[in-house]
Amino acid sequence: MKPMDAAAAPAAVPFVFARSTCLPVTVNLHHVELFYHVAKHGGISRAVRHMPYGIQQPAVSSQILLLEQDLGVKLFERQPFRLTREGRELYDFARPFFENAEAVAARLRAGRAPTLRIAASELVLRDYLPIVIERLQKRHPELRFGLRSGFQPEWLFEGKIDLAITPLETRPPAGLKALSIVKLSLVLLVPRRSRLESAAGLWEKSRIEEPLISPPAGQVITRVFRRGLRHLKLDWPTAIEANSLDLVTQYVANGYGLGVGVELQHRKLPRGVRALPLAGFDPVEIVAMWRPPVSEWHDTLCEEIARRAQELWPR
Residue 170 Cα distances to 121, 173, 285, angstroms: 19, 9, 9
Query: Are residues 149 and 293 both part of a single domain?
Result: yes
Domain boundary, last residue among 77, 110, 143: 110
Indicate which CATH number applies to the domain containing 165: 3.40.190.10
Query: Are residues 149 and 202 both part of a single domain?
Result: no
Q: Is the pLDDT of residue 185 over 90?
A: yes
Reported as a pLDDT band with limits 50, 70 and 90, residue 7 is very low
Residues 6 or more apart from 314 whose CB is under 8 A from it?
none
What is the pLDDT, as a whole number, of residue 106? 65
Q: Is 156 exposed, middle or buried (0-12, 13-18, 19+ CB in 10 A)?
A: buried
Residue 47 lies in a domain: yes
Query: Are residues 10 and 101 both part of a single domain?
Result: yes
Query: Are residues 169 and 193 both part of a single domain?
Result: no
Query: Are residues 172 and 302 both part of a single domain?
Result: yes
Indicate which CATH number applies to the domain containing 66: 1.10.10.10
Identify the weakest region by mean pLDDT among 51-65, 179-193, 237-251: 51-65
Query: Are residues 171 and 298 both part of a single domain?
Result: yes
What is the pLDDT, as a whole number, of residue 1? 37
Residue 102 lies in a domain: yes
Residue 150 lies in a domain: yes
Q: Is the pLDDT of residue 111 over 80?
A: no
Show the CA angle centred on residue 12, arms to residues 6 and 14, nearest 5°: 80
Query: Are residues 15 and 29 both part of a single domain?
Result: yes
Residue 67 lies in a domain: yes
What is the rounded CA–CA span in Å between residue 254 and residue 273?
9
Q: Is the pLDDT of residue 105 over 80?
A: no
Domain count, the chain: 3
Strands 212-214 and 82-83 come out as unpaired
Query: Are residues 32 and 105 both part of a single domain?
Result: yes
Residue 181 lies in a domain: no
Average pLDDT, the chain: 86
* Digit-coded pLDDT (tens) for 254-306: 999 999 999 987 778 888 999 999 999 999 999 999 998 887 788 889 999 99
Domain boundary, last residue among 110, 137, 154: 110
DSSP structural state of residue 140 = -
Query: Are residues 172 and 298 both part of a single domain?
Result: yes
- pTM of the predicted protein model: 0.64
Residue-range definition of the domain harbouring residue 165: 115-176+289-312
